[in-house]
């Protein structure tokens, strides 16, 4: 160890090195500061989205390039995982560096629109004619349209045609039929039914078609109409027709179970189609999710991302962004995009064409036609309702609360949080 009392005297060489270090630090700081102040490139539009998947990112870029080229623009995407888009966008907002186009999950739109940080799209010239009711409602907040979805998804019942044929079970149309079909299809290591009931946005998305179809109201959980849906899920598990692991299975896990032949039917969305198509062992078909009673109807949720234009203060860039968005949403581009990502176009005419081209996915297309937006009733309050609903079905499925009690508690927690 060197003697701690000995302090070396600075030699001229050392002093020069120190000066050099200080100078270079200062230059570095100056460079960093000017970097922040640099004005955005007028020929490049920026986009923040969740296309982290390589194929999806490339597919997106193709459409951006096609539409950007019409206006002599380049488009640069920044992609972060879906769960991080909101926090990333909020950070960008606080540093005034938001992108020209912000692609949000539809259920996050109200929380953003409520900040007055988004531009209404119609005054900027985005054409909304012919959009489906669900798509209009998903992109709106308090009557103003802020976000347009190129394509949307919903949920349907995907079933294993071989297993149903072998057990001579017809495709269930009502909840009673679903319960008995699931029971008859359960044998050995194969469950009759599979669904995802994780305590997050995806689990709630899966619960909604049952909750809404039974008359459930997300603004008044304690009217107890949703209890029937909780009972249905609970019965599927207590009958042994569905695994109690549903509370931990993601939608991806559910699809894996189905593909391994361990589930005869599942609730899932069109984004699973590539995985379903990539194999030949399991033969599958798509049907509408069963309704509570014969002649009743099913109310599935609508999901997907919407493109918004943040209030950045650059009027000319916003106008260009609106033009690019408009181009992405022409009937032709919507059909092409929908087919690329297995989602359903939002323009009614485009959806019809898509349905004609993809008869196998008609079940999904039909679901989207009547699908309802999660935020239509509760708007920016949706995140709280979502957490409460997840708590409700998790406590019912694990046997820690009866459906009625779970729903009353859910409404109480929503009320407490919004106080």
Partner 1 sequence: MTTSAPTSTALVPPRPAVRRRPTAAWLRWGFVAPAVVYMAAFFGYPLVRNVLMSFQHYTPKTFFTGSAPFSGLGNWRAVLDNPLLGQALWHTLVFTVGSLAGQFCIGLALAVFFNGRFRLAGFARAVLLLPWLVPMVVSSVVWRKLLDQDTGVVNTALQDVHLAHSPVHWLSSPSLALLSAILVNIWIGIPFNMVILYGGLQEIPREVYEAAALDGAGPWQTFRRVTLPMLRPVITVVLVLGFMSTIKILDLILALTGGGPADSTQTLGTLTYQLSFQSLDFGQGAVVGTLLVAISAVFAVFYLRANRAEFAGEQ
Residues interacting with partner 1, by CB under 8 A? Answer: 1, 4-5, 83, 86-87, 90-91, 93-94, 111-112, 114-117, 189, 198-200, 243-248, 260, 262, 311, 383-384, 386-387, 390-391, 394-395, 397-398, 400-401, 413, 416-417, 419
Nearer to partner 1, 57 or 262 (CB): 262
In angstroms, give the least distance from the CB of 416 to partner 1. 6
**CA atoms lying within 13 Å on the CB side of residue 222:** 9
Nearer to partner 1, 332 or 419 (CB): 419
Q: Which long-range contacts (CB under 8 A, 24 or more apart) does 400-406 make?
A: 403/224, 403/226, 403/227, 403/230, 403/231, 403/234, 404/224, 404/227, 406/230
Nearer to partner 1, 133 or 183 (CB): 183
Q: Which two tokens stand for residue 118?
A: 């988004």
* 138 CB burial (10 A radius; 0-12, 13-18, 19+): buried
- Rounded to whole angstroms, the Cα distance separating 352 from 123 reads 28
In angstroms, give the least distance from the CB of 331 to partner 1. 34
Nearer to partner 1, 191 or 211 (CB): 191
Nearer to partner 1, 56 or 256 (CB): 256
In angstroms, give the least distance from the CB of 335 to partner 1. 34
CA nearest to 196, candidates 210, 214, 212: 210
In angstroms, give the least distance from the CB of 47 to partner 1. 19
In angstroms, give the least distance from the CB of 383 to partner 1. 5
Strands (E) located in 50-148: 74-79, 101-105, 140-141, 144-145, 147-148
- Rounded to whole angstroms, the Cα distance separating 207 from 246 reads 12
How does strand 144-145 pair with strand 140-141? antiparallel
Nearer to partner 1, 143 or 188 (CB): 188
For residue 157, the 8-state DSSP code is E
Interior angle at CA 338, CA 324 and CA 356, nearest 5: 130
- Rounded to whole angstroms, the Cα distance separating 260 from 278 reads 13
In angstroms, give the least distance from the CB of 115 to partner 1. 4
In angstroms, give the least distance from the CB of 187 to partner 1. 14
Nearer to partner 1, 116 or 280 (CB): 116
């Amino acid at each position: 160890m060197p003697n701690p009392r000995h302090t070396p005297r600075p030699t001229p060489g050392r002093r020069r090195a120190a000066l050099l270090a200080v100078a270079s630090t200062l230059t570095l700081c100056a460079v960093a500061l000017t970097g922040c102040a640099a004005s955005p490139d007028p020929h490049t539009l920026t986009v923040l989205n969740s296309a982290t998947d390589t194929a999806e990112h490339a597919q997106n870029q193709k459409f951006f390039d096609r539409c950007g080229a019409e206006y002599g623009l380049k488009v640069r995407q920044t992609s972060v995982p879906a769960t991080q888009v909101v926090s990333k966008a909020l950070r960008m907002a606080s540093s005034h560096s938001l992108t020209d186009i912000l692609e949000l999950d539809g259920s996050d739109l109200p929380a953003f629109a409520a900040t007055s940080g988004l531009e209404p799209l119609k005054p900027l010239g985005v054409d909304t004619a012919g959009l489906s009711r669900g798509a209009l409602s998903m992109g709106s907040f308090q009557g103003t349209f802020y976000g347009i979805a190129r394509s949307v998804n919903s949920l349907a019942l995907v079933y294993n045609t071989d297993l149903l044929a072998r057990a001579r079970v017809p495709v269930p149309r009502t909840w009673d039929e679903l319960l008995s079909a699931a029971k008859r299809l359960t044998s050995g290591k194969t469950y009759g039914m599979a669904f995802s009931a994780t305590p997050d946005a995806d689990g709630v998305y899966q619960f909604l078609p049952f909750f809404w179809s039974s008359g459930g109201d997300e603004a008044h959980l304690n009217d107890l109409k949703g209890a029937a849906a909780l009972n249905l899920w609970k019965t599927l598990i207590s009958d042994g027709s569905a695994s109690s692991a549903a509370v931990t299975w993601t939608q991806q896990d559910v699809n894996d179970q189905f593909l391994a032949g361990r589930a005869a039917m599942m609730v899932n969305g069109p984004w699973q189609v590539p995985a379903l198509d990539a194999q030949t062992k399991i033969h599958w078909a798509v049907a509408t999710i069963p309704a509570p009673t014969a002649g009743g109807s099913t109310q599935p949720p609508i999901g997907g991302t919407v493109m918004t234009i943040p209030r950045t203060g650059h009027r000319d860039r916003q106008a260009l962004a609106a033009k690019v968005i408009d181009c992405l949403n022409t009937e032709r581009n919507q059909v092409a995009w929908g087919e690329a990502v297995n989602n359903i176009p939002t323009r009614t005419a485009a959806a019809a064409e898509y349905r004609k081209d993809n008869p196998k996915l008609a079940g999904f297309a039909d679901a989207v036609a009547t699908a309802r937006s999660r935020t239509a009733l509760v708007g920016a309050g949706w995140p709280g309702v979502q957490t409460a609903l997840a708590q409700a079905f998790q406590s019912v499925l694990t046997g820690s609360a009866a459906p009625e009690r779970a729903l009353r508690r859910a409404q109480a927690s929503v009320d407490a949080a919004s106080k």
